[in-house]
């Protein structure tokens, strides 16, 4: 497979982690309530920069033999370091018209921006786009409250503008969902609120293997090691923390494979319980 594509099986499901690129964020956006000295020590231990977090954007391609699904679409042309998803798909032998299912875990720009092409039209014209009903209603409402996110005002405005700009052209392809739903054989959508009102996780279950895609329920391995550290992008931090704990407990107890959109590429591994927290173990 080409660089930026990592293929692995989940039973009979043929999966590929596709890199859409990356973006560097101010460290305090990812860990707004972390004690500075403890955060500095944790970053130094991992030999990571102190001032910025380099965050990958990893989408998931699922091929069942007859169906082609894409989980999240990347950021599109939001920056010079993103927007690679179309090229990654092409290198994997997938044309945009071949994709029949798109799952939007939520409507943040880095997950939704790649759903439109350079002309502002749906990139995947034949695909049903699944999104939680609560998520769709939240971002298409005339007004919304984003004050729960510990981010600058201009960043929150950009998130609102991108959601409106992208969801409007997709309105005839949107399929709102509620609760747990099996959208393809072995592919189940799970409600995972907190990061956004209708944030979704996915459970892939085939041939005795399981993969839990966390979406943005956790955006950095340090959120596993320090469950008390919040993510500044979470709209409802307390709800997000409870969701994160529930998903991680489920994954660790069943020894599932785990994927997280912003974890170090290829963003797949396992989690193991460690004294009320979890350890990220990368690799398939």
Residue 217 CA: distances (Å) to CA of 212, 233, 281: 11, 10, 17
CA 264, 265, 266, 267 dihedral sign is: positive
Tokens linked to 218: 């956790």
In the sheet with 101-103, reading across from the earlier edge strand, the strands are 5-10, 13-26, 52-63, 68-71, 101-103, 128-132, 174-177
Q: What is the CA radius of gyration of the chain?
A: 18
> What is the separation, in whole angstroms, between the first and last Cα of the chain?
16
Q: Collapsing DSSP states into helix, strand and coil, what is residue 247?
A: helix
Distance of alpha carbon 48 from alpha carbon 40, whole angstroms: 9
Q: Is the pLDDT of residue 91 over 70?
A: yes
Distance of alpha carbon 10 from alpha carbon 14, whole angstroms: 7
Q: Which of 44, 66, 56 is nearest to 19 (CA)?
A: 56
- Residue bearing tokens 């596993």: 224
* Beta strands, E only, 180-259: 181-184, 187-191, 200-206, 209-213, 257-259
Q: Collapsing DSSP states into helix, strand and coil, what is residue 24?
A: strand
Query: Is residue 268 a contact partner of residue 258, using CB atoms and an 8 Å limit?
Result: yes
Tell me the whole-structure pTM to 2 decimals: 0.96
**Strand-strand pairing, 128-132 and 101-103:** parallel
The residues with which 14 forms a beta bridge, in sequence order, are 9, 63
Instruction: Look up the CATH superfamily of 5-282.
Output: Ribonuclease Z/Hydroxyacylglutathione hydrolase-like (3.60.15.10)
Q: Collapsing DSSP states into helix, strand and coil, what is residue 112?
A: helix
Percent of the chain with pLDDT over 90: 95
Q: Tens of pLDDT along 134-187?
A: 999 999 999 999 999 999 999 999 999 999 999 999 999 999 999 999 999 999
* Beta strands, E only, the chain: 5-10, 13-26, 52-63, 68-71, 101-103, 128-132, 174-177, 181-184, 187-191, 200-206, 209-213, 257-259, 268-274, 277-282
Tokens linked to 146: 């984003």
**Strand-strand pairing, 13-26 and 5-10:** antiparallel
How many beta carbons lie within 10 A of that of residue 191, not counting itself? 16
Query: Is residue 177 a contact partner of residue 131, using CB atoms and an 8 Å limit?
Result: yes
What is the band of 78 on the pLDDT scale with cuts at 50, 70, 90? confident
pLDDT score, position 79: 85
Q: Mean pLDDT over all residues of the chain?
A: 96
What is the band of 1 on the pLDDT scale with cuts at 50, 70, 90? very low
- Residue bearing tokens 């959120």: 223
Q: Tens of pLDDT along 186-230?
A: 999 999 999 999 999 999 999 999 999 999 999 999 999 999 999
Q: Domains of the chain: which residue ranges?
A: 5-282
Helix (H) or strand (E) holding 45: helix 36-45
């Amino acid at each position: 497979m080409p660089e930026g594509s990592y293929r692995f099986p989940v039973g009979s499901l043929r999966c590929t982690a596709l890199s859409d690129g990356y973006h560097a964020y101010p460290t305090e956006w990812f860990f707004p309530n972390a004690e500075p000295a403890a955060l500095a020590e944790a970053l130094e231990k991992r030999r990571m920069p102190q001032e910025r977090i380099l965050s990958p954007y990893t989408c998931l391609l699922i091929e069942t033999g007859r169906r082609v699904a894409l989980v999240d679409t990347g950021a599109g042309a939001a920056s010079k370091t993103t927007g690679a998803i179309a090229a990654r798909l092409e290198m994997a032998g997938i044309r945009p018209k071949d994709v029949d299912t798109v799952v939007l875990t939520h409507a943040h720009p880095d997950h939704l921006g790649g759903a439109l092409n350079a002309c502002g039209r749906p990139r995947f014209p034949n695909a049903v786009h699944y999104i939680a009903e609560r998520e769709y209603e939240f971002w298409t409402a005339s007004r919304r409250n984003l004050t729960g996110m510990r981010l600058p005002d201009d960043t929150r405005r950009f998130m609102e503008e991108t959601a409106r700009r992208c969801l409007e052209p997709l309105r005839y392809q949107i399929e709102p969902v509620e609760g747990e739903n099996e959208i393809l054989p072995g592919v189940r959508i799970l409600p995972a609120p907190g990061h956004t009102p209708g944030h979704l996780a996915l459970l892939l279950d085939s041939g005795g293997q399981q993969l839990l895609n966390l979406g943005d329920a956790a955006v950095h391995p340090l959120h596993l090691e320090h469950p008390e550290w919040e993510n500044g992008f979470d709209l409802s931090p307390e709800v997000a923390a409870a969701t994160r704990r529930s998903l991680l407990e489920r994954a660790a107890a069943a020894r599932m494979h785990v994927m997280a959109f912003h974890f170090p590429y290829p963003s797949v591994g396992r989690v193991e319980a460690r004294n009320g927290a979890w350890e990220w173990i990368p690799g398939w």
